[in-house]
Structure 1
Amino acid sequence: MGQTMKISILTSGTRGDVQPYIALGKALQEREHDVLIACPENFCSWVEEHGLKSCSIGIDMQAFLQTPEGKKLLSGNVLTLIKIWKQIVVPSIQKTLDISWEYGKDADLLIYHPKATAAIDVAEATGAGLICTALFPLFQTPAFPFFIFRGNFGPFLNTLSYKLTSLSRIFFIKMVNKWRTKTLGLGKSQILMPFDGHGANPVLRLCAVSPSVMKYPETGNAMVHTTGYWFLEEKENWQPDPGFLEFINSGEKPVYIGFGSMTTKDPERLTKEIIQGVQDAGLRAILSTGWGGLKRISLPEGIFLIENAPHDGLFNYVSAVVHHGGAGTTAAGLRAGLPTFICPAAFDQPYWGRLIHALGIGPKPLSIKKLNAKAFSKGLADLTRNESYRSAAKKIGKRIADENGASRAVDLIESFHQGGKAK
């Protein structure tokens, strides 16, 4: 190991936006680096349980997604997204900016999630090393377009499509510029592409996805790396309750169904449609309630409700997984070598649904807005009876098992800090 670094990791969002950074933080700490994670307040205790320092930053997305505005955010409508972003998220930005400075100004290195771009400005002010990270393909490349687009438009248009990333700062750039002048002593931001850094110094970009799933081309930017997933091991802390084990042992392996951090306008209706779909397909299922995507109702025989369990433990007990397409849940299902059926709501979820199908690991995605018992049952039948999905999933699962994305990321981070570039 080289020189010990003081590192601040800035992230914001839901559980899936925090969990990989805990894994990365632990990998950095194991090499004797001093690590702090700035994250939403509702995750600070979780960070600290893993032996890392934390501080509160950004809004509590769990609470927000359960509000009427939060549920509208999941509609997938771009205009609705922009409106709610301006009304709800932008007012919290000032606190985020101030905390980013307070906990980042003394760092040797700043690592940031795409929702925490204040790290760019802090690094510009202090000269700290800057690392942009992403849990999905976010960095500009001529090889494929920005993830919200389908297909391939050729090198020029593929590259151009990433200009949309500038929207992440444009709505609060006046606030950022005022903060830059008053607090950081800097001029107005010239940032057009917030995931390329501030331009003055090289910026390392790490995509925490398995190269077996997607990979940036070797001929692309030498500062962009596909590291592999950053998995947080939690199964050793999970003890299945007797009722769960009794259900598992009472019949064939069930299918897992859960929507993670996503909430819905009518969770009771969604739950009833899912239950009917499971029954029509002749399957058993474990339903995870998550943050409110599914609702507690009277359950028929063959369906078990669970509130919270680590995927690395729970997925050992199931035959296939059905979920919203969050990056973390998708990664966990792939690692477990399980056929996957994605019912996306918004954000990067449709991308993962399309990719899973393209990889031959599961059926075509079914939008959660179009989910009904008939369509869901059809997807479940395909998921569980098409042996080609299981074969493809097992092959990718074996390759992912041989990877250590967090360790690879730390290698790149240390190399970058020592020489301003990664190898």
Structure 2
Amino acid sequence: MIEYAEKMDLDKLVLTCIHCGFCLQSCPTYRILGYEPDSPRGRLYLIRALLEKRIELGEKIVEHLYKCIVCRGCETACPSSVRFGILMDMTRSQITKKYRFPLLQAIGLKLGAKVLVSHINLLRYLLTFNRLLQKIGIEYLVRLLPKPLSELDYLMPPSPSSRIYYPKIQEVIKPVTNKKLSVGFLQGCLMEAALPWVNRAVIRILLANGCEVITPRGQTCCGAASLHEGFIEYAKKLARKNIDVFENVNVDFILASASGCVATLKMYDELLKDDPEYAGKARKFKRKVRDFSELLLEIGMNKNLGPVNLTTTFHDSCGLAHAQKITQQPRIILRAIPGLSIIEMKDSDLCCGAGGLNWLFHPEITKETLMMKLKNAAATGASTIAVSNIPCYLNISRGIKRLKIKMNVVHYAELLDKSYRSAKLY
């Protein structure tokens, strides 16, 4: 099953596991299903058995390996620093080469992980049409479609404004105040299509902090969906394109609004380490990548903040807490906002169930995981759930809408944007 060079890396990664079980309670699928093969430890056993040719790759094995949300919560819990996320990416890469998926799943995987993510304009037009359906009140028609198409209302978060269409972001936007530095902005595929107002809030904040914002033309998806669903070669293609595009603009830092995108950008050096032409370029690229919260605190955030009188609880998105090990920076930013009260929820770093395409192929797991998250969030009594990643925003929004919970979902940058507006910075 495994090609020789990749098998050597997988062997090393698998053998770092000491089978202690600390990962079990951090794993949403194990907490829901309670079945060892659906835990990180159990999946490692399966991968090792495949490597050693003790079992054959079949439907049940693939099901266990694809039920994993790749939230990487197990990595945070692991005392042996097992790199489970990379291990799963490599294993799925081999599965997509060797295994014949059922037709609908094969189509869904290729559409979600290859076609739509590399056609950003098509995705923008589709989701602009979705916003139009919302405005005229017939978005419920999507839920009347047969499964899995009925799950597409996942991509229809409620817009905070009356706008339906958002023009493209200008390529170069200069700050009104003295320029401190230049930031390259990756708009993302799903982020720009589904939550364009968040991208614009982040850009306004960067400008208010003296950053010139360059959104270079020709950029593409970060590659997260391709990488995590088993299309590593396609993810490499996307990574090379982004490296080339950003290499042609003179910027000090590179960031994106979605923490999952940033986590993937920070993996480009690992992804292209064996590429003689791009390995060095990828290392140079990674050195410039920052999460939004990282950058603001690194450059010294503009603290001319106005009041935002509401209560919020913060969901630690997996792409931030587990993939980047960033938990405090967003909280520092939020605590600086006058009038904003932060109430911590139980298990704030437990996945909400939105990773990858699980919401499409294993909606029951996504639903059960989301219920745990919403129960903990609602128990705080907060009016708002702040997140940092787009799948979390979409998934939690859908759960709140379906269950009619009286809470709102925001990207935490929207709260800072509101504070700057309150202070009349723009």
Q: TM-score, normalised by structure 1?
A: 0.29
Structure richer in helix, relative to its length: 2
